[in-house]
Amino acid sequence: MFYVVRHAMPVVDSDQEPARWHLSAEGRRTAAALVRRLPAAALLVASDEPKAWQTLDPTGDGQQVTKDARLREVRREEAFSDDFHVARRAYVDGMDHLGWEDRRAVAARMQSAVDDHLAAAGERPLVVAGHGMAMTVWFTAAVGLADPGDFWAALRFPDLLAIDPPAGEIRRCGLTTG
């Protein structure tokens, strides 16, 4: 078993690529609450996108977090719009979109990163921070989510999940962010 974190809420800026977004003030606050719940001495690993590694290190410079580009969000060509949820949900449910990364490639790169970091963690707990669509695609491949769209839509900013792929289990760890 290890832990997977969906990043906290970023500052949404239509003038910047989402991969460059940083956490909002509220995101930093909820990330700080999440970090207090993580297991002591855990190996902290995150996507190299700021919103992901800042979730595991909301007040620092990210030096305590190993950054791994394989944990990035799904690569995609996506126009900035208010109805972005529609295309994203369709994607995690299995619909192909022109210019979007193949789901098999997403699952493979995520699995490769997790395998490497599980080996590096040894007996230490592992915490991996990433992004909703990529996590959902990987979980679907790794444990066979029955309804990926519902799973993705229910993810929180941030969210903390315990995952046991051999048992096919994902469990939300309760967060108190107040």
- Residue whose C-alpha is closest to residue 149's, from 163, 139, 161: 139
What is the domain class of 2-172 according to CATH? Answer: alpha beta
Average pLDDT of the chain to the nearest whole number: 95
Find the mean pLDDT for residues 156-163: 97
Helix spans in the chain (H):
25-35, 50-56, 84-92, 103-121, 132-143, 148-154
20-24, 82-86, 94-98, 174-178: segment of lowest average pLDDT:
174-178
Question: How far apart are alpha carbons 112 and 72 in whole angstroms?
Answer: 13
Q: How far apart are CA 163 and CA 171, in angstroms?
A: 6
Whether the full predicted model's pTM is greater than 0.75, yes or no, is yes
Res 80: pLDDT: 83
